[in-house]
Structure 1
Amino acid sequence: MSTSPAPPADKRLFFLLAAGHRRVQRWVENKLAADMDGLTAAQSGVLFYLGGADGALIGEAAEALDLAPSAMTGLVDRMTRAGLVERRPDPKDGRALRLHLTDHGRAAREEAKAGLAHLNQHLTQGFTDDEIAVVARWLSSLQTKFPKGDASQ
């Protein structure tokens, strides 16, 4: 009994990365959002960040999530209307606003964590821990190779 050789690896890394990102993003927005009352991936990111940094400045959250300030403002507006977060004045600087999770936001964060666990299980299915470690290392290296705001590379 002979086994056929594996097909050659597709090394169009940028294409594969972009196509994979679009597919995962669509899956997240369709599947997980349906399971989590319309919560988007971007909103989940804010909830995860605030889970460890409740009371962060809006700019700090935008920086941590690699979002433009204008995108963050619109995102926070939608999340405030949905009752997930609230803006409160900074006690030391009345001009600055801090973001806080609401009770509804904390509950949505827990739902999103469960959804993320399902997504990670789906993403890693069929791969060994060693293979996933290589992929994770490669993806992490992109942040160093292409630093935020550095178009000169």
Structure 2
Amino acid sequence: MANTFKVFHKLQIAHSALFRAADRRTRNKIGLTTSQLAVLLILSRKDGQPISDLSSTLAMGKSSLTGLVDRMCAKGLVRRSPSPVDGRVIHIYLEQPGRAVLEQGAGEISQFNAALLAPFPAEEQVIIERFLTHLADNADGIVNGPTPPKKGPADD
């Protein structure tokens, strides 16, 4: 029981410490937070996403993401545009200044990844990746347990 608490607690502490340090560095080096950098990275892979898709990908609330995008629009990094299909939907597009700062930010992320993995041999790096992928893919089930199957009409 104590080991389970230690793992969960250490993950929380590591996450907070890592992102505080990364935010401090990316703010000093490129003038963006890691969350802003993540928005640019996601848009570089698929530009013009609805803000709801970005919110889901980043696991951020829409109101938090809206404020983040507001600040990025003010810097000219991204722009908002209504959907040509549904004017109620707002799409976010990467602007040229955003592309330029993303290049610099990608170098920072590469350095973070290299520094994180440097103390571990290749075979342990594979295990670390597998562990983190497992957490990301199964977080809800790990924390809340398996989801019971939904009842269909034949089950009544």
TM-score, normalising length: structure 1: 0.86
Q: What residue number does 2:151 align with?
A: none
> Deviation above 2 Å: which 4+ runs of structure 1?
150-153
Q: Structure 2: 5+ residue runs without aligned partners?
A: 146-156
Please tell me whether residue 102 in structure 1 is matched to residue 95 in structure 2.
yes
Write the distance in 2 (CA, Å) between the matches of 1:105 and 1:147.
33
Q: What residue number does 2:40 align with?
A: 47
Secondary structure of the residue aligned to 2:119 is: coil
Write the distance in 1 (CA, Å) between the matches of 2:32 and 2:122.
30
Q: What residue number does 2:65 align with?
A: 72
Q: Which residue of the other structure, out of 129, 137, 152, is the alignment partner of 2:144?
A: 152
Q: What residue number does 1:84 align with?
A: 77
Q: Which residue of the other structure, out of 7, 10, 29, is the alignment partner of 1:13?
A: 7
Q: What residue number does 1:30 align with?
A: 24
Secondary structure of the residue aligned to 2:80 is: strand
List per-residue Cα deviations over 1:8-49 (Å, max 9, x = no partner).
xx771112111111221121011222111x210100110010
Q: What residue number does 1:119 align with?
A: 112
Please tell me whether residue 56 in structure 1 is matched to residue 49 in structure 2.
yes
Q: Percent identity?
A: 31
Q: Structure 1: 5+ residue runs without aligned partners?
A: 1-9
> Alignment RMSD, CA only?
1.9
